Amino acid sequence: MYEYNNLGGTAIKSSHFLGLFFIFRAKRKGKQILKVYTSNEIRSKYIAFFQENGHAVIQSASVIPENDPTVLFTTAGMHPLVPYLLGEKHPAGSRLTNIQKCIRTGDIDDVGDDTHCTFFEMMGNWSLGDYFKREAIEWSWKFVTSPQWLGIPQDKIAVTVFEGDKDAPRDTESYEIWRELGQREEELFFLPKTDNWWGPAGQTGPCGPDTEIFIIKDKERCGPNCSPACGCGRYVEFWNNVFMQYNKTAEGAFEPLVQKNVDTGMGLERVLVALNGGTVYDCDLFTSIFAAIEQLSNKSYIEHSKAYRIIADHTRTAVFILGDTRGVTPSNVDQGYVLRRLIRRAVRFSMNLGIAEGGLTVIADTVINQYDPMYPELKANRSLIIDELQAEEMRFHKTLSQGLREFEKLASALGEEKLDGASAFKLYDTFGFPIELTMELAKERSISVDLEGYQERFQKHRELSQAGAAQKFKGGLADHSEQTARLHTATHLLHAALRKLLGDTAAQKGSNITSERLRFDFSFPRKMTDEEIAATERIVNEAIADRADITFDEMTIDQAREAGAIGLFESKYGNLVKVYTIGKHSKEICGGPHASNTSELGVFKIIKEESSSSGVRRIKAVLL
């Protein structure tokens, strides 16, 4: 038995292969080319390096985007910084660095393989109109190759740059900088826009060429044209420097930006794979979580790796969604729906391993303890996390019982016939039955399953879901038009009105703004009455009629508290925050954008009040 101290300092006993196995797996067969790094080492080195180079450290923002209708979750470090990339002044300055917690859920069904995770940490550094290509590339080279930092041998590094096309010229500037620094020409590649261009996130907005850094694995080229674009496995990408120097217009033109930015990203899990080898699940981030799964199941990771990975990944992501400062709870819409799907998939695979009901909360506790030093909101919201996981697990067991009754009904009617694909898919879509469970139950009754028919319906369902998401979020990252600025301002007045009418517990849980409407989620235990809705409208419209100026001041978080400002005290802007004051009506921490006077807002009208999730209400409103 080994003892492994996780990030929270708690000793967790693990089996003969857990603990040291995952950290040192990269040494197998004598092919390790670098020292073995832990996640804490990488985090610390990255932040220390950019601090030394004049970057202010800002905290991770929420995984629930603020006023961004284009994504359900924060998917990159740059998402919370969009206003500042577009020109607004950031309180912490023009050089920033942080580690942002991110969630990407487009490939949930692929989790369990060697590469996919839904939660990850993105290390980033940004220049908001300050330095550009030379400094960004020189710092990347120094951090990657210097012995005091990552110390990767120069002959193990490959780099790609943008080859140019009709929209933008060949990035010879980046190429020449890399050559000056010592990057070998034979491992320096010009690649097209599909490989070396970022953005815009939607149809329009900031975008530009990027330069990506790869580790070369101990593997021969697959042919004379082998490059990081061929996907043969020789190259592992781990760092991307994006040079936002263009704005794509609605007409499809690429115009030079007045403020040129640098946006870099290096996924923590990805860089650990690049440095240590193995898969994303072979790093120390999963050691204590896998140990908890093993103790609960008494089954080995080696024989049940897919189940281990899905349970660990999905539970970790669920903890971060539930424990977030803007955390949501399971529901049938938006983030709550994704959360429900993650929890139920984790429960399914827990059952496959023989883990008793309630085991997910033990695993969740391990996640909380591991990440609490970096993200203390998890421990602060521990009770909510555990309660919601328990409640959702109970609901799912009830749904599974209903599904079993449905299967028995189908099986009895079939006799020896084949279970058709439509019925198999209904068991999956309605009752959460994975096809493996349906096939196992069918086999016990000597019934075959139309697997091809099921796969056709599953693929169609997946394509429709992706198309729906693309349509829903096609507008790009946050729209910062005058209308969205007015609607954003209205959310401040709405928040203040709700607190005045319903009490201080009516706290903001999230918002979503398009150019047509605002959506505001807040904590409240019941449906609002018609009288309360009308009173809320009246309070907001009185503030609009007051023709109040909207001003902001930069101050420390403590000063903001003392001034009576409300908001999420996340420190996501660094030591300084912006406090927006709307006359006598509202004082709130926020990043923008806003109108300059309430008279610009027009007439505020609530069009719907509904449940968002357990204990959270949702208001949709417009400005007329």
**Domain residue spans of the chain:** 1-32+281-394, 33-276, 415-477, 482-623
Per the CB < 8 A criterion, the answer to whether 436 and 407 are in contact is: no
Task: Return the amino acid letter for 435.
Answer: I
Q: Which portions of the chain are predicted below pLDDT 70?
A: 1-35, 67-70, 201-203, 415-416, 462-480, 568-575, 592
Q: What is the pTM of this model?
A: 0.76
Structure token pair of residue 41 = 């080492």
Element counts in the chain: helices (H) and strands (E) = 18, 18
Separation CA 522–CA 616 (nearest Å): 6
Query: Smallest Cα–Cα separation from 205: which of 481, 13, 555?
Result: 481
Sequence-distant (6+) residues with CB within 8 A of 78 are 85, 124, 126, 263, 265
Which residue, 352, 353, 371, 366, is CA-closest to 296? 353
Which residues sit in the known binding site? 488, 492, 590, 594
User: Residue with structure tokens 């996981």?
Assistant: 389
Q: Name residues whose C-beta falls within 8 Å of residue 589's C-beta, 6 or more positions apart in sequence.
A: 560, 565, 566, 567, 568, 569, 577, 578, 579, 580
Contact (Cβ atoms closer than 8 angstroms) between residue 494 and residue 619: yes
Could you tell me which of 393, 401, 394, 397 has the C-alpha nearest to residue 311? Answer: 393
> Three-state SS for 234?
coil
Residue whose tokens read 């209308």: 483
What is the C-alpha separation between 81 and 592, in angstroms, rounded? 11
611, 549 contact by CB (below 8 A):
no
Which DSSP string corresponds to 438-499?
Answer: HHHHHHHTT--B-HHHHHHHHHHHHHHHHHHHHHHTTT-S---SHHHHHHHHHHHHHHHHHH
**Sheet of strand 576-582, all strands in order from the earlier edge strand to the far edge:** 550-556, 576-582, 586-589
User: What's residue 475's pLDDT?
Assistant: 35
CB 605 within 8 A of CB 534: no
For tokens 């800002």, name the residue.
58
Of 456, 470, 319, 326, residue with least CA distance to 389: 319
Alpha-carbon distances of 380 from 6, 319, 329, 521, 570, rounded to whole Å: 19, 12, 16, 21, 13
Other Cβ atoms less than 10 A from the Cβ of 583: the count is 16
Residue with tokens 């060697």, as numbered in its chain = 114
Look at residue 18 in the predicted model and tell me its pLDDT. 45
Which residues contribute to the annotated binding site for Zn(2+)? 488, 492, 590, 594
Q: Are 144 and 157 in contact (CB under 8 A)?
A: yes
3-state percent breakdown (helix, strand, coil) of the chain, nearest 5:
45, 20, 35
Total residue length of the chain: 624
pLDDT digits (tens, 9 = 90+) for 174-219: 999 999 999 999 999 999 999 999 888 666 778 999 999 999 988 8
CATH number, span 33-276 = 3.30.930.10
Burial 250-278 (b: 16+ CB within 10 A, else e): eeeebeebebbbbbbbbbbbbbbbbbbbb
CATH number of 482-623: 3.30.980.10
CB 373 within 8 A of CB 7: yes
Instruction: Quote the pLDDT of residue 69.
Output: 64
Of the chain, the end-to-end C-alpha distance in Å amounts to: 68
